[in-house]
Each structure stands twice: as structure tokens, then as C-alpha cells.
């Protein structure tokens, strides 16, 4: 079953985010707190939305996403920040169901596209996305400002 997350789901979502970080070999970068997640998902100004995949009352996967905007298309889009299904539930259709639900939201909301990034070494995810009809944008390079570089630019 796929459904929108509720505030009661925050601890489970936070745990899945930690498991995703472990899978992606990025545990050392996680500073997330449940309080921050609660505020950012369900506070006065939500920054993102989450869909969860549930099996027998247990959350086995999630998709965290937010809206962006395509200036060329003149329409909103959805950016999928994270998609994760626990290893024991993989291959049962939860990832596809989460992506289908996001695609349905995108169509209902008049979005021009759904986009996301995947680590180059994550061949199972790449094969999964390509099997769904997604195409890589090899001509684009993602840039990121964080930490001291972000602070320096903000103060300059």
C-alpha cells in the first residue's frame, strides 16, 4: 500500500533515511534529526512531501520529493530526492509503486517532469529506472554548494 506520510511516520522515515545513507556509503554525512524532519515535512512551511510503502502495517519504503519549476516549459516539476525500499522488500513492486504514485501526482498537478539523481555506481537502481523508461541526462553535471563554500558565498 502506498500512502502519504503522516507526522506519526517521522521516526520510521528517519530510520529509512539512515539505511539509505548506509546503502549509499554516506552515513558519515547524516546529521538529520527527527525534530528537523518533523518541522520540514509537517511544519508551518513544509519543504518536502513523503509517500510511504507499507506492508502489514510496517513501512518498508519511502519516496521524499518536492516541487521545482521548469522555466523553459513554464510548468512545475517534481524532484525526487530519495527513493528507498528496505532490502527484504525489494523486488516486490514497492519501488515501482512509489514512482507510479509520484508520476500520478505529477500528472494531477500539471507538472512537466519528474527528475532525480542516481549515483553512478548504483547499477541496480540505474537498471530499474531505465526499465521504467527513464533516461539519463548525460550532458548535465550536478553542482552543489555546502558548508564553508555556501557560507562564504552567502556572506560575499
- Tell me the catalytic residues: 129
The set of cell numbers assigned to 91 is 523486488
38-45 long-range Cβ contacts below 8 angstroms, 24+ apart: 38/7, 38/10, 41/5, 41/7, 41/10, 41/13, 42/7, 42/10
Distance CA 4, CA 114 (A): 18
Contact 73/115 with Cβ under 8 angstroms? no
Closest CA to 128 of 107, 88, 98, 106: 98
Using alpha carbons only, give the angle 108, 137, 28 rounded to the nearest 5 degrees. 90
DSSP 7: G
Amino acid at each position: 500500500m502506498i500512502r502519504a506520510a503522516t507526522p506519526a511516520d517521522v521516526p520510521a522515515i528517519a530510520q529509512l533515511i539512515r539505511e539509505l545513507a548506509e546503502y549509499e556509503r554516506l552515513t558519515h554525512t547524516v546529521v538529520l534529526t527527527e525534530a528537523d524532519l518533523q518541522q520540514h515535512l509537517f511544519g508551518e512551511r513544509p519543504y518536502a512531501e513523503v509517500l510511504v510503502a507499507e506492508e502489514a502495517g510496517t513501512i518498508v519504503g519511502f519516496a521524499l520529493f518536492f516541487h521545482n519549476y521548469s522555466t523553459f516549459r513554464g510548468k512545475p516539476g517534481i524532484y525526487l530526492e530519495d527513493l528507498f525500499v528496505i532490502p527484504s522488500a525489494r523486488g516486490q513492486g514497492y519501488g515501482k509503486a512509489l514512482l507510479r504514485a509520484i508520476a500520478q501526482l505529477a500528472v494531477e498537478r500539471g507538472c512537466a517532469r519528474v527528475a532525480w539523481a542516481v549515483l553512478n555506481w548504483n547499477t541496480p537502481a540505474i537498471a530499474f529506472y531505465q526499465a521504467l523508461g527513464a533516461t539519463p541526462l548525460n550532458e548535465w553535471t550536478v553542482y552543489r554548494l555546502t558548508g564553508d563554500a555556501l557560507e562564504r558565498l552567502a556572506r560575499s
